[in-house]
Amino acid sequence: MIQDDNGAVLVTNDGATILDKMRVNHPAAKMLVGLSKAQDVEAGDGTTTVVVICGGLLNAVQGLLNKGIHPTKISESYGKAIVKAEEELERIGTPVALSDRDALIDAARTSLSSKVISQYAELFAPLAVDAVLKVIDPETATNVDLDDVKIVTRVGGTMDDTEMIDGLCFGKGFSKSGGVQTIKDPKIGLIQFCLSAPKTDMENSVVVSEYDQMDKILREERKYILKMCKKIKKSGCTLLLVQKSILRDAVNDLSLHFLQKLGIAVIRDIERDDVEYICKSLGCRPIAHIDGFLPEKLGCAGLAEESSISGKGRVVKITQVANPGRTCSILIRGSNKMVLEEADRSLHDALCVVRSLVKKKFMICGGGVAEAAVSCRLAKWSNSLTGMEAYCVRAFADALEVIPYTLAENAGLHPIQIVTELRKRHASGEHHYGINVKKGQIADMRKANVWQPLLVSISALKLATETVQMILKIDDMIGVR
């Protein structure tokens, strides 16, 4: 639980989020914060793992330096060890096809099982897989743009009410709906200009001394706004999306009143970041000026429906889009804001796991299998080396056991006993055995369906090693004014 200066509370176990929110002053510690962010960008999952591995490697470095081994030699040996580690991980990795939905769901479920909302993993894992498969072409895809999956969170209901919407979802209702709940076959326009009377660029004040002058100003203002609204109506638009204006109100009460009279529903305060996503989903184009409000720039859909959430909140769903782009929306429901924020982060991690499998179509067993296998292979390899290099590689191998050790400790097991047994299993060639946290024993992770993307493990090892090599190159720290 993290509380900031303003009293806002955050409950999470996402490594990157925790490190990002912490006040870190030491330069080396800042490098670890950057490390977790890099892992978040590259793989999206394993942000805690990468920092734990880096800590284990740095601990091993301390022992090597105390033995009098030169930092450059350690750095070179670690570089060779990571190449060997990658070879081993690819050797024991299992190929996966994007058509194998169950395998993808297993990987997403494993990612969610360590989260605060782990009890809803059975609901969120298929959602994450279906969302990614919807926005890519499984035959040719080599990456996924997660901006194509829009996550909307609303307080009210429970997590079980979470749903995927084949279309668009807005976490707000129609402005001044006047009882409009459903629009059949809406023609949708997205505007980036203000539906209000024009104002000068500079601050100014107009002094009106006569009542008839005031009436004239108001009359002209009404006439100007009505003309704009009639032009919108003429194009055939029945649902208007209005981009948020940072300078002044994009719409005012008068324009909303006119639009309502003309039978046009309005959703206001559309974020600038969402414009590209909306255009891609609906096949419409943003309109920057009233003169450009033409029928060909509108998007078409089968239904726009406003529904109420727990009395106060409202959402609008636009479905049955005529020319849908490869996008989808997920509406997450929950009891309070903190739970929703953590659900959002957890679902993002699950989406990233599926994205990692699209990038590199290999999986590896979870439960400390990857680290135990690499540790075992490097320990054997170190016996064939000579001199200081053998010491360094052996230290690297031993340091990786920090992951199964920590897993066993967090599960309330006896860490030394578990790690020793795991080491024995891997030494005898049983490379799919890891720690089954639920049963509290060493087990075959394939039977337990605990899988993770190979990319997550490779990325974590590489990034942690790079950071250690960078820290090893530092001779001294100098404070400057």
Q: What are the catalytic residues?
A: 14, 47-48, 349
Residue 338 structure tokens: 């903190």
E-strand stretches of 166-300: 167-170, 182-184, 187-191, 239-243, 265-270, 286-287, 299-300
E-strand stretches of 24-123: 94-95
Q: Name the residue among 268, 216, 275 with its Cα closest to residue 242.
A: 268
Q: Burial of 402 by CB count in 10 Å (0-12 exposed, 13-18 middle, 19+ buried)?
A: buried
Buried b (16+ CB within 10 A) or exposed e, 107-132: bbbbbbebbbbeebbeebbbbbbbbb
Helix axes 71-92, 47-66, angle to 10 degrees: 140
Helices (H), 236-336: 253-261, 275-282
- CA distances 163 to 16, 153, 262, 280, Å, are 27, 11, 33, 21
Q: Burial of 419 by CB count in 10 Å (0-12 exposed, 13-18 middle, 19+ buried)?
A: buried
Characterise 49 by phi-psi region: left (phi > 0), alpha (psi -120 to 50), beta (else).
alpha
Residue 41 structure tokens: 């960008």
Residue 267 structure tokens: 């959703």
Backbone phi and psi for residue 274, each to the nearest 5 degrees, phi listed first: -90, -10
Calpha distance 148→146 (Å, rounded):
5
Contact 80, 378 (CB under 8 A): no
Residue 458 structure tokens: 């490779």
